[in-house]
Each structure stands twice: as structure tokens, then as C-alpha cells.
Structure 1
Amino acid sequence: MDVKALITAPFSESGLKTLRDAGVTVVHQSWLETGKLYLGDSLTKPIKEAGADVVVVEGDEVKEEVIASTSLKLIGSARNDPNNISIPAATAKRIPVISAPGRNTNAVAEHTIGLILSVARKIVSCERFLKGDFFVNSFGDFARMYKTLAGFELYGRSVGIIGLGSIGFEVAKRLQAFGLRLLVYDPYVDNTRVRQVGAEVVKLDELLKRSDIVTIHCPPTPETKGMIGAKQFAQMKKTAIFINTARAMVADEAALLDALKSATIAGAGLDVFSMEPVDSDNVFLGLDNVVVTPHMGGNTIETMERQSAMIAADIVAFVRGKRPLHVLNPEVFERRGK
């Protein structure tokens, strides 16, 4: 089976080698190198120019127009939950869609811990303070700095985790080492999972009231959209911090901004926003009690290696007439009798 693949997602050299060793002709045009994001039907032209049977994307859209006007046999997404691909349209043409589940689980979990520590211990605030033309002209100046930058330890505190899915679970596992209490709100959680991290399942209101740190790890769904708003921020401790490395839509961004400005809560660590990509005009950058990262939670070398290995293995399986492991629409194989 002579197969050509257009890959616009970041892809490791080892992943590319796996494909080429299997006889796949690869055109690799990573958006990290081209600086291009294909929206609407704009990916149609590159697919046709490459003569691609397979396309692998990260953020590019593979919607109805692209699927209808090309002869794709397989669509790959280097993401966990590809909302940029029309799975129904692909399924209607019996095109398998593969993904890379769990590719960034470790990365986002570690990033969450980093944000928690950065805000709780005012690590970023320390650097900002020193870069603001601060000079110790007297011991009183040093005392003022020391008082201003006092943080709090995680030991003995309570951390509320909203959503104990794959990332929330990994965050909980890592937090256990700090000797703190874990509270979980997740209506769908398996109690076995909760016991594994020594957590206590509580209702959302109780979690908000008891937690010193609230961290979001639930998926973006109609049920979770705006679940944390002004009412919920008002229920939190004034000394609490809020962490979001999941999706911006889970929290009311305007309400969060107001809560931070009014000292309703003490601080926040944010990696996701309603307007992305993030640049220097992000409103949260103007607040000293917030640490902002521009959706970097999953941005690690290991994430790219992991997604490349999973996608490459599934493409090779498909080329060899086998069913890929990480297929999002398995019904296309049932129709083929595979």
C-alpha cells in the first residue's frame, strides 16, 4: 500500500523514521517551523499538493469542507480531544480518525504543581519585585521586602481538585508528597481512584469553602461551562489560590478577574484563557497576585515524543491493514468488516 502522509503537527525524528521505514512517504511541515495555522478549508490545498492519503494535525482544522474535497484515507490528531476535526464527517466517508490520548498528562500535571508552588511561595513575585528597581538602602527596606513576599507552605493545607480524570489523578499523586489533604469534586469518579490518592470526595460548595488551593482538571462540556463564577469565588477562602490548566471556559474569566482585583481570593495560576494565543496585552498580567503562562502546560519534549510514537504506530498499523489502537470512530472498521 503506497501511502503519502502530510504532517503539520510537531513530530519527532524517531516518529518520522518509523513511518519512512514502513514505506510511508512523509511531507513534514510543522506549524512550529512554518508559522501557519490552517482554518476553514485552507488545508485542502496542501493536502492535494502533497497527494496525501493521511493528514496529521495539531491545531489545524479538518472540517467538512476539507474532508469532502480530498481523498484522505486516515486523519490523525496529535491531541487528546480533537475538536478541530469533524469526526462525523470523517465517519460518513468511512475515514478513521486517530488521536494521541494521554500525550501531555504528565506535562500538564507537573505544570500544575509548578503553578501552585509559584503562587503559594510567590516565586514569580520575588523576581518582579527585584526587577522593579528595588534597592536595600536600609535594613527596613529588607524587612519590607521580606514581609511583602511571605508565602505559605503546602504541608497541612487542603487542595481541592475539580475533576479526577487522568490529569487530575496525576496531580493528586504528586501532591501526596507534600503532606496535605486532598478534596475531590467529580460526580463521575471511581471510588477506587479516590482511595488510591487518599482523597475525600465532597460536593463542590464544600470543596470551595475548605480548600486553600482549588485546581481545575475537568473537560470542557456544556455541564462544566462556567461552573466556577462569581458565586463560587465568593465561597472560597480569601487566602485561597485558584489554578486552571484545563480550559478557560470552565471558569467565568470576568468573575475571576474581579475576584482577584477585589481580594476575594488571594491569587491564581493560569495557563488557559478565553483569548489565545496569549500575548502581552493579557489583562491578568497586570495583577501581581497572578502567574500567567501562555498555554504551555503540555509543551515538553516528552509530549512531542509521545504523540509522535502513538500516531506513527497507528499509521503503520493502518498501512498494514490492521486496526489502529487509538481510533476515535471505531465504527468505520465495523462497517468494513474488520
Structure 2
Amino acid sequence: MSRFKIVTTGPGGTDHSLEMETLSAIGAEIVEVSGGDDELAKAVADADAIYAKGRPRITAKVIEAGRKLKVVSLGSVGVDSVDVDAATRLGIPVTNCPDTFIEEVADHAMTLILGSWRRLVVQDQMVRKGEWTKARPMLYQFPRLRGMTLGFVAFGHVARAVARRAAPFGFNMLAYDPYIEELVMAEYGVEPVGLDELMQRSDIVSMHAPGTKDAHHLLKEKHFRQMKKTSLFVNTGRGSTVDEAALIKALQEGWIAGAGLDVLETEPVGHNNPLLGMDNVTLTAHVASASDRFDKARRRRVGAELSLVLSGKWPRACVNPSVLEKSSLVRWQPFSMERGPGN
């Protein structure tokens, strides 16, 4: 009989061997459950943990059903697929993977920045349509990248990795993030500013805010109206952070020049979304974190986080850390080669 029961969503038969690399040692089992809230709530009633996979959302009803629930673990950076408030109210830590695929997302953000600035999609279409001679004159309208201003909305791990990539291109860089110290921004050559100033001064705005309640529709119509007509908007964060109707209006009416978007408010994108018909918009299918190592790394990380909490220790990453101080969990200390146990 297993010592710990971990409930996750799925049809059954999914390979969880990477998660089990650490979970097997503590006698845990992963049980897949298909269906909605009712089915999940029933399965969670005697579960020790929930392994959240994005869909369906882990609601308050499901979390409240877990009489002995110790942790909810996500294999993603974003936590909008879990009712974190409900978990916090019940003293249950919610873990995520905030640093597993930073480099991939930063690469993708930089790709959208460069590709949008050089109108890569339109240039490709011109070649395919036999409009070779129109390509060069089109780019004569735009300044070179060096000396342009790149503004970051939120300056967490991904934005900082983008800043490292952007610096050699000669960008002037700004950031708005009331939760990050100015000294941290200064280390990356980034000037801290208010949100309005950032929107007004930036030639490219790169959105990195998380999908939290506080950041919902952080960028509204008034912000897009503040941008330069020649400016671009890039989003590799969360679609919910932007009022998409306002962004569409900004693009249609020429308040801004274009956009590069990996995330949208509704995913997958609806066939009638006006963004699909705009040649000044580059779209990707929420793939910024994808790479050869992505799935393996996040699955091992989920297994490690679940194992830590079920073993009575603090997780490496917790999105509601206030619950840890009130819990009986022991603060986790990573093993050091310089100072191991007993030294």
C-alpha cells in the first residue's frame, strides 16, 4: 500500500516515471482522474497532494475536498490554473516551477522583439508572393535597432534574462516593477520608471507580468494610447495581463505599429479573432517555454517539490509562502559540497 496518494488529471496510463524518480523513495503513487470538479473532489478526499496540469482548473471546491491535503504542485511558472487563495486560506502550499525554463522564454521573447522590429513575417510573405523589390523600401521606413528603447513591464527572472540578451544590441532599457528593488534593475543596466512613463518612452514594450488577480488587464486602452505610433508590443507572459480588445483597437487604429504575441486572453485562439488577419502581428501558440529539455525538467521538478513537502520539508518554490511560516514543515536546506552534513 502506498504511503502517499497524489491526484492528478488525465485519462490514465500517463508515463510519470520522471516524477517518480524522487517520489518512489517516499512511497508515493500518482492517481490520474478524468472529469470535472465532482470527480476530482471525490478523488482528492483522501489525497495527500494534487499535481496540477493546467486543465481542468483546480478550484476551491476541489482543494476544500482534500481533508489531508498537504500541497498542490504545478509544472509551470503560471499559477492561474489553481485557486491559490483557497489553498492559502487552508494553509496549503502551492508550488510551481519559476526557474526551469527561463532561458527558453527569454529566447522566444527576444525572437519576437527582433522579428517584429524587422517585420520578418511580412518580409517572408513578400518573397513568397514575388514582391521582392518591395521588401527593401519597406524597411527604409524604420530606424535601426541600436539606440531604441526597450521597456519591461515586470522585471522578474525572464525579463532579466531578456535584458542580458538585449544589452549587446544597444538598447536603452526601462522597467516598471514596484516589487523589484532599483538596485536589481541597475545591475542589468535598466532604468526604473513608472508604468505611464514606460509606455510613453518605449519603442518596444515587453510584457512579463504573471497571471495574477492584481495583474489582470494591467495594460488597458489608456496605456496603448500612450505608446508611440511607431512602437511595438510583445507579450510572452500571460494573455490575461492585457485588455485584448484594447490591444486589437490599438493595432486597427494605428496607435501602435505592431505586436508579437505568444499568449492571448483566450487559448487556443478563436477563428474570428481579428489578430489572425493582421500582417503586423506575429503570433505563436503559447510555446515560449518549449524545448527538448522542457518537459523532462518540469516533471522532475514537480516530483522533487512534491517529495519535499510530503517528507515534511519546505518546497524550493512556493507561490504562497505565508503558509510556510505557519506550518509544521521544516525549512529545506540544499546540500552544499563545501559544507555538508556534520561539517
TM-score by length of 1: 0.81
Which amino acid in the other structure matches residue 99 of structure 1?
Answer: N
Report deviation, 1:238. Answer: 1.8
1:147 equivalent to 2:137? Answer yes
Which amino acid in the other structure matches residue 112 of structure 2?
Answer: L
Q: 2:277 matched to which residue of 1?
A: 286
**Distance between the aligned counterparts of 1:332 and 1:208, measured in 2?**
37
Report deviation, 1:157. Answer: 1.5
CA contact (8 A) 1:78 1:308 kept: yes
1:101 equivalent to 2:98? Answer yes
Q: 2:23 matched to which residue of 1?
A: 19
**Distance between the aligned counterparts of 1:92 and 1:228, measured in 2?**
29
**Distance between the aligned counterparts of 1:224 and 1:300, measured in 2?**
27
CA contact (8 A) 1:194 1:200 kept: yes
Query: What CA deviation, in whole Å up to 9, does each residue of 1:121-147 have, x standing for no partner?
Result: 12222333344xx23xxxxx5322432
After superposition, residues 257-296 of structure 1 pair within 5 angstroms as 257-296=248-287
Q: 1:32 matched to which residue of 2?
A: none
1:219 equivalent to 2:245? Answer no
Change (3 A) 1:156 1:114: same
Q: 2:291 matched to which residue of 1?
A: 300
Choose the corresponding residue for 2:83, options 71, 82, 86. 86
Q: 1:54 matched to which residue of 2?
A: 49
Paired residue secondary structure (1:41):
helix
**Distance between the aligned counterparts of 1:337 and 1:246, measured in 2?**
32
After superposition, residues 27-38 of structure 1 pair within 5 angstroms as 27=31
Change (3 A) 1:108 1:152: farther
Structure 2 spans left out of the alignment, 5+ residues: 331-343
Q: 2:323 matched to which residue of 1?
A: 331
- Is 272-281 or 209-218 further displaced after alignment? 272-281
Change (3 A) 1:265 1:92: closer
Q: 1:138 matched to which residue of 2?
A: none
1:157 equivalent to 2:113? Answer no
Query: What CA deviation, in whole Å up to 9, does each residue of 1:77-106 have, x standing for no partner?
Result: 223342333345445655443322233332
How many residue pairs are counted as aligned between the two chains? 322
After superposition, residues 227-246 of structure 1 pair within 5 angstroms as 227-246=218-237
**Distance between the aligned counterparts of 1:222 and 1:67, measured in 2?**
19
CA contact (8 A) 2:3 2:26 kept: no
TM-score by length of 2: 0.80
CA contact (8 A) 1:209 1:237 kept: yes
After superposition, residues 127-142 of structure 1 pair within 5 angstroms as 127-131=124-128, 134-135=129-130, 141-142=131-132
CA contact (8 A) 2:236 2:261 kept: yes
CA contact (8 A) 1:6 1:52 kept: yes
Change (3 A) 1:187 1:326: closer
CA contact (8 A) 2:312 2:328 kept: no
Report deviation, 1:289. Answer: 0.3
Q: Equivalent pairs: percent with the same residue?
A: 32
Query: What CA deviation, in whole Å up to 9, does each residue of 1:37-78 have, x standing for no partner?
Result: x55434235557xx7433201213222322343454432222
Which amino acid in the other structure matches residue 104 of structure 1?
Answer: F
**Distance between the aligned counterparts of 1:54 and 1:222, measured in 2?**
24
Q: 1:75 matched to which residue of 2?
A: 72
Q: 1:63 matched to which residue of 2?
A: 59
Which amino acid in the other structure matches residue 105 of structure 1?
Answer: I
CA RMSD of aligned residues (A): 3.1
Which amino acid in the other structure matches residue 57 of structure 1?
Answer: A
